[in-house]
Amino acid sequence: MSWHVLGAGSLGSLWATRLFRAGVPVQLILRDAQRLAAYRQAGGLTLVEQGQASLYAIVAGDLNEQAPIERLLLACKAYDAAEAIAAVAHRLTPEAEVILLQNGLGSQDEVAVQLPGRRCLPASSTEGAFRDGDWRVVFAGQGHNWIGDPLDATPPGWLSDLQRSHIPHTWSPDILARLWRKLALNCAINPLTVLHGCRNGELVRHGDQVDALCAELAGLLHGCGQADAARDLHLDVWRVIEATAANYSSMYQDVAAGRRTEISYLLGYACAAAERAALQVPHLKVVHRQLLEHLDRHGLPRY
Ligand code: NAP
């Protein structure tokens, strides 16, 4: 059974190249005939690891192809997920399984609602990769992947493909708690690094703001039935700030590079969830408003 990887960006390429070189059948789904022609011109995907570049001639098709899909890795940004799945939904077999690599929350439901009866498995990744050219991905940070299914705790058989491909992973029956926790960490750190224009570690100078956001986020997690995800959030936020002190957050990097952010699926999702649960989150709301204004000033989308 072949893996299909939709989105040959940073994470999609990182997964596809590792599956391919382990001999696991995999093919890429690219946006259109033009992107497919450019890919074929490049001769494949290049993975750069510890300065060593290797080219992998992975089979690719585009969204117009009609061959059935049994296992799909959806590897686009959260804001592209719903549209991307709509373009391939008719190709998914009734037993098809879809692994969702999107950060944040919200896109998983936008996808699942289009795939009644199909198994959708959200993943949460701490691996780091970036593109330093078209069809070239740099493996920048070792990490881990947690994969789960909120509706069914039975691990899928294809985890052995990940094992064989040395893709570090853990089957996670509490994947929603993990996604919520990651969202809360992101909301406590990333927006402030954008607003203060600083590295993660410099947030020690804005400790009161971080602490106020942590308190509201812990309350939000409790209010949304995610008490486990709220445990020691505050300590974890400061641990992450210290451990990543020299780094610029992903949101900071997106804004600095003029790239669209995933704000709607991170801070925007948190504020909407608070509204639905009738919870007061004044600090989160202020930071959200300031971040939207910041995006406006930089000509970037608010969603
Ligand atoms: P990325 O490098 O921007 O890659 C996304 C890819 O999806 C692009 O190649 C894009 O194609 C493709 N795409 C979007 N819509 C498509 C469509 N309709 N049909 C075909 N291809 C489509 O993004 P990423 O960094 O891999 O991030 C993916 C997700 O993983 C995000 O939610 C991110 O937050 C999360 N994540 C990333 C990292 C990381 O280190 N990169 C780490 C943890 C989590 P084009 O190139 O043609 O636009």
Q: What angle do CA 59, 62, 63 make, to 5 degrees?
A: 140
Fold of 177-297: N-(1-d-carboxylethyl)-l-norvaline Dehydrogenase; domain 2 (1.10.1040)
Residue type at 273? A
Instruction: Tell me what pLDDT residue 241 has.
Output: 98
Looking at residue 264, its pLDDT comes to 98
In the structure, what pLDDT confidence band is assigned to residue 27 with cuts at 50, 70 and 90? very high
Q: 39: alpha, beta or left, given left = phi > 0 and alpha = psi -120 to 50? A: alpha
Ligand 1 centre distance from Cα of residue 27 (Å): 16
What is the average pLDDT value for the chain, to the nearest integer? 97
Q: What is the pLDDT of residue 105?
A: 98
Tell me if 129 CB under 6 Å of ligand 1: yes
Q: Is the CB of 9 under 6 A from ligand 1?
A: yes
The tokens of 23 are what? 């001999």
Helix-then-strand count for the chain, H and E: 12, 12
Q: How far is the CA of 222 from the centre of ligand 1 (A)?
A: 31
* Contact 136 CB / ligand 1 (< 6 Å): no
Q: Where are the beta strands (DSSP E) in 1-142?
A: 3-6, 26-30, 45-49, 52-56, 59-62, 69-74, 92-100, 119-125, 128-133, 136-141
Tokens standing for 226? 């995610």
Q: Check pocket membership of 77 for ligand 1, CB cut-off 6 A.
A: yes
CA-nearest residue, atom 27 of ligand 1: 77
Is CATH 3.40.50.720 what the domain over 3-173 is classified as, yes or no?
Answer: yes
How far, in Å, CA of 199 to CA of 197, rounded?
A: 7
Q: Is 159 in contact with 72 (CB distance < 8 Å)?
A: no
Q: Report, in this order, helix, strand and coil percent for the chain, each rounded to 5.
A: 50, 20, 30
Give me the helices (H) in 197-281, please: 207-223, 227-230, 233-243, 250-256, 267-276
Residue 15 alpha carbon to ligand 1 centre in Å: 12
- Could you tell me if the CB of 11 is within 6 A of ligand 1? yes
Task: Record the tokens describing residue 291, joined without a space.
Answer: 């971040």
Q: Kind of pairing, strands 45-49 and 136-141? A: parallel
Distance (Å) of CA 16 to CA 19, 36, 205, 300: 5, 16, 41, 30
Q: Where are the domains of the chain?
A: 3-173, 177-297
Residue 124 contacts residue 182 (beta carbons within 8 Å): yes
Q: Is the CB of 148 under 6 A from ligand 1?
A: no
Q: Whose CA is nearest to atom 18 of ligand 1?
A: 84
The whole-number average pLDDT for the span 82-91 is: 97
- Percent of the chain surpassing pLDDT 90: 100
CA angle, residues 127, 130, 133, in degrees to nearest 5: 155
Residue 182 annotated among the catalytic residues of the structure? yes
Give 76 Cα–ligand 1 centroid separation in angstroms: 3
> Rounded to two decimals, what is the model's pTM?
0.97
Measured from the CB, is residue 159 less than 6 Å from ligand 1? no
Residue with tokens 């022609």: 37
Does ligand 1 have an atom closer than 6 angstroms to the CB of 35? yes
Ligand 1, residue 83: give the atom nearest the CA.
18
Q: What is the spatial distance between Cα 95 and Cα 102, in angstroms, rounded to a whole number? A: 22
**Ligand 1 atom at minimal distance to the Cα of residue 84:** 18
The predicted-structure confidence for 204-223, as pLDDT tens digits, reads as follows: 999 999 999 999 999 999 99
Q: Which of 118, 178, 182, 288 is catalytic?
A: 182
pLDDT at site 48: 98
d(CA 122, CA 165): 19
Does ligand 1 lie within 6 Å of residue 7's CB atom?
yes
In ligand 1, the atom with minimum distance to the C-alpha of 259 is 3
Residue 216: the pLDDT is: 98
**E strands of 68-193, at which residues?**
69-74, 92-100, 119-125, 128-133, 136-141, 145-147, 169-171
Distance CA 144, CA 234 (A): 22
Which of 4, 15, 29, 31 best tests ligand 1's pocket when mutated (most atoms within 8 Å of CB)? 31
pLDDT value, residue 15: 98
Question: 202: number of CA atoms within 13 Å, CB side?
Answer: 14
Q: What is the pLDDT of residues 115-143, one digit of tens each?
A: 999 999 999 999 999 999 999 999 999 99
